[in-house]
Structure 1
Amino acid sequence: MGQSVQLIRRPDTVDAVVTRMRGLAAGLPERDGIAVFNRVYLAVTEEAGRRPAAGRFTGARAAATLDVRFTERYLTAVDPAAQERHAPACWRPLLQSRRHPGVRPLQFALAGVNAHVGHDLALAVVDTCAALECEPADLEGDFERVGDLLAALEERVREDLMPGPDLLRIADPLTHLLGAWSLEQARDAAWSAARALWALRRLPDVAEDFTRRLDAAVGFAGRMMLTPLPA
């Protein structure tokens, strides 16, 4: 396949990934858009790490592999050492708007969730299938577990960053942005994309084109989510 769907070969464990997320948090200003997303993602990941989890295929090994592949794609995209133009299209809007004063913290966080679910999750499933020599169907239980984590992440985002009811009026543009994106639909689309990419693995040109278009579509949605809003 093309570069965008190759295995991430770093031999990281879940603990090592969490350590890298903590290091990222320590090096960013609090209001930075990446910091806003990373802070919530780290809190949910640490909480989930305290609970045992196993899928239907190879138990802890499959769960850990999918977790690492998934989070690694995010960390690689936002790595401060990487030049912005090398980031996937889905992460570029957040990287480019991360310090914009007209973008609210809730927008930063949801744009991160959009990129991570809409693009990274599908490719992480493909990475994991290649690493474990299994089929996407074998990872369905682990995919659902990651979906539960993402639901907790979205809930945490809304709890921590949602304006109070006195500020979030029906006419507020943020209200419309929130209603235009669905985590459930994004998860379903990611699963369909993962299955399609796995089926296309012997057609690398087609798989690369599919991945590029997926990346661009998710990036377009992210750019809309980061539209600067009046205070």
Structure 2
Amino acid sequence: MDAVLARMRALAKTLPERDGIAVFNRVYLAVTEAVDQRLAAGRFANPRAAAALDARFAERYLSAVDAAARGRRAPACWRPLLQLRRHPGVRPLQFALAGVNAHIGHDLALAVVDACTELECEPADLEGDFDRVGDLLAALEERVREDLMPGPDLLQVADPLTHLLGAWSLERARDAAWSSARALWALRRVPDVAEEFAQRLDAAVGFAGRLMLTPLPD
């Protein structure tokens, strides 16, 4: 966790404030710090499992950012945000939601599999801590809305941003991630099918992210 937090803090210091990755990184860093504080306070039933899950989760986001910085191809779920991160017509709230969509819609399922492999356990053994981390992720969505949502005097019912917010649900994404993790774990002995499943998940989440980043009129 220390290495993950150090990398995220370094990104926060080096990226331009309006950069789309910087927008997502700010809210995600705050939630990751909250997870770390709860781990230190003994708030998880299995601290080792929770730390492994959270670290593997964050590493997938950081790996995507590193891949882009080195000119390599990032996962499809992250490509829309990485490609449009400096687009002047995309609002900060869109950047943040696209990051949350990529990270939960794709990375979370694979992080569960990564953690189970590392810990030599079943997904069911992580379910309690998955739910506790999920509760903190709900705080991520709330923070996104509080920090980046325009005030009620600026956001009209007809504003496309209103429809964007209403079309995506963190709770549904988290439930889907758990189902995807269980499917990937069950398929681990059929590597070609597991790989196809993961690729299709990646592509579907990336498609949703691209729609989220449609430039909006002021």
TM-score (ref. length: structure 2)? 0.96
Judge conservation of contact 1:89–1:219 (CA < 8 Å) in 2: yes
Q: 2:104 aligns with which of 100, 117, 123?
A: 117
Query: Is 1:221 matched with 2:217?
Result: no
Q: 1:49 Cα deviation (Å)?
A: 2.0
Q: Which amino acid aligns with 1:140?
A: E
The equivalent of 1:131 in structure 2 is 118
Which residue is 1:145 aligned to?
Answer: 132
The structure 2 residue matched to 1:82, chosen from 56, 70, 82, is: 70
* Separation in 2, partners of 1:148, 1:128: 19
Structure 1, unmatched stretches of 5+, are 1-13
Residues 96-121 of structure 1 show CA distances to partners (whole Å, capped at 9, x for unaligned) of 00000000000000000000000000
> Structure 1 CA distance, aligned partners of 2:139 and 2:50?
17
Is contact 2:123–2:182 with CA below 8 Å preserved after alignment? yes
SS at match of 1:50: helix
Deviations 1:190-213 (A, max 9, x none): 000000000000000000000000
Query: What residue identity is the alignment partner of 1:133?
Result: E
Map of 1:61 onto structure 2: 48
Tell me, yes or no, if structure 1 residue 25 matches structure 2 residue 12. yes
Between the aligned partners of 2:129 and 2:180, the Cα distance in structure 1 is 16
- 1:128 and 1:115 mapped to 2: Cα distance? 19
Distance in 1 between residues matched to 2:173 and 2:20, nearest whole Å = 21
Considering fraction of residues, name the structure with more helix: 2
CA deviation digits over 1:32-74, x for unaligned, max 9?
A: 0000000111122223322235555xx1110110011000000
Report the alpha carbon displacement of residue 82 of structure 1 after superposing the two structures with TM.
Answer: 2.9
1:104 maps to which residue?
Answer: 91
Unmatched runs of 5 consecutive residues or more in structure 2: none
Q: Distance in 1 between matches of 2:191 and 2:119?
A: 20
Quote the residue 2:143 is aligned against: 156
| Distance in structure 1 (CA, Å) of the matches to 2:32 and 2:57 | 12
Aligned to 1:181: 168
Provide the secondary structure at the position in 2 that maps to 1:227. coil
Q: Deviations over 1:78-111 (max 9, x none)?
A: 1153325x10000000000000000000000000
Distance 1:120 1:74 in 2: 7
- Aligned residue pair count: 215
Supply the RMSD in Å over aligned alpha carbons.
1.1
Offset of 1:220 from its aligned partner? 0.5
C-alpha distance in structure 1 between counterparts of 2:19 and 2:44, whole Å:
35
**Identity, % of aligned pairs?**
80
Contact 1:53 1:63 in 2 (8 A): no
1:93–1:219: 8 Å Cα contact kept in structure 2? Answer: yes
Distance 1:186 1:18 in 2: 24
* Superposition TM-score, scaled by structure 1 size: 0.90
Q: Are the aligned partners of 2:35 and 2:133 in contact in 1 as well (CA < 8 Å)?
A: no
Which digits, 9 at most, give the CA deviation of each residue in 1:130-168, with x for residues without a partner?
011100000001110111121011100000000000111
